[in-house]
Structure 1
Amino acid sequence: MTLPELLELNFNGHSINDFIAEVNTIADKTEKHPALKDFPEYFTPPEKLREKAVLLVQLRDASASGDRDKKAEKMAAWEDTKLAVIMNGKHITMLSLHRNDPSILLNTGYKLKQKHIAKPTSSSSTDLLAETPGLELRYMQSGSGPIVGAFTVIITKAKNRASTELQMSDNPSDESSWNSQGIYAKSRIEYKGQPSEKRVYFRARYHQDGGVSPWSPVVNILVL
């Protein structure tokens, strides 16, 4: 059995300029992806991908005059960078299959293989991109009462196992303050050891087939 092709990893039809742009996009997305923080030794991290993209720009310009040696260097660097990007994509595919979490394939900079995207069935035809998740925040309890610095985020979903992105902020009016907490298939996320007497805000949105829904209404809780 071969590894399923869930991501588009064929870059042979790209011009060098398009390929360089895609490498930089993949590097940026990798840096922000919540599931891509610890890399195996064969994985090329974002800063190394950017270095490869910079080298390709330099060799592209240096070979523009027709220098055959520079052209050969450019082609070798191009193939080396393709291999690095393909190996990263294979790792993301394996991680998604290992965790049984297709949301890991989203927001990676890679295009999804369209034929592998599951289509809604007639019995489950909710268009998640027209919906928003429901959010509720509850203090975690012990036998003696609420636990200091602990609370639970409860996500009410329009469809079972929907992929939901969660963000948190301490200043919701500042868009740059929103931090991704990950993309979840589960509906309960526990927070412990949070700073006391601090109010935190949450919002969520669905991910489906490479698209995203609007953000949910913001909810907040004062950490005990």
Structure 2
Amino acid sequence: MASVKDPYDRGYRSQGVNDLIFTTDHVAEKAEVHIAFQGPVAEYVTLSPKLKEFAAKMAAARDSGNIDLLNILMPQVVQALDFNADHVIRFSVFRQDASILNNAGYDFKQQNGVKVRVNLLDLMPEITLKHMEGVEGAYVISAKLAKAGAIVEYMWTETPEDEQSWQRIGDGTFNRSRTEVRGGVPTKRIYVRARYHENGAVGRWCKPVSIILL
């Protein structure tokens, strides 16, 4: 790899657990259909199912407070992401096709001080939920947005497996990173999902996150 210029921003190497879970899931989604991961691959390449398994294990360790396991998993995941990025670069060089570098789930480095444009529809918002202190049945949605002012649609349900049960939150779309929601029923577990809107089109839903209302 020394003779090949690395186009990718390897910022995931210093990410916290929440961001790394999001990155791993995103790269896994892209790897399902990306040409570099179709057919036989080298043993150092981690395919989509294993990446999703890594993300699920990190989420479970985070939720259970198992710091020791996270300290084992996170370096393994970073190495897997590194090796996969290297594989995409090699594949692009072998095919002599720079377009292969696109849509692999990795951000590009800044070029001449200008960051490569983010296509929101290729991404999924990362959201967390927490209780609103002192307000019964209320909670706060915090979203890590891919760019400032991005428009996000939120929906909620008590039965995430039933697609027809999902309902819009408020007017449905918001362009801020913090949204307060009131009027929920205490003791109920609810699930919230989000997706980006851009130029009249919509992206993919993120994985639902849940909270038990107080």
What TM-score, normalized to structure 1? 0.46
- Higher Cα Rg, which structure: 1
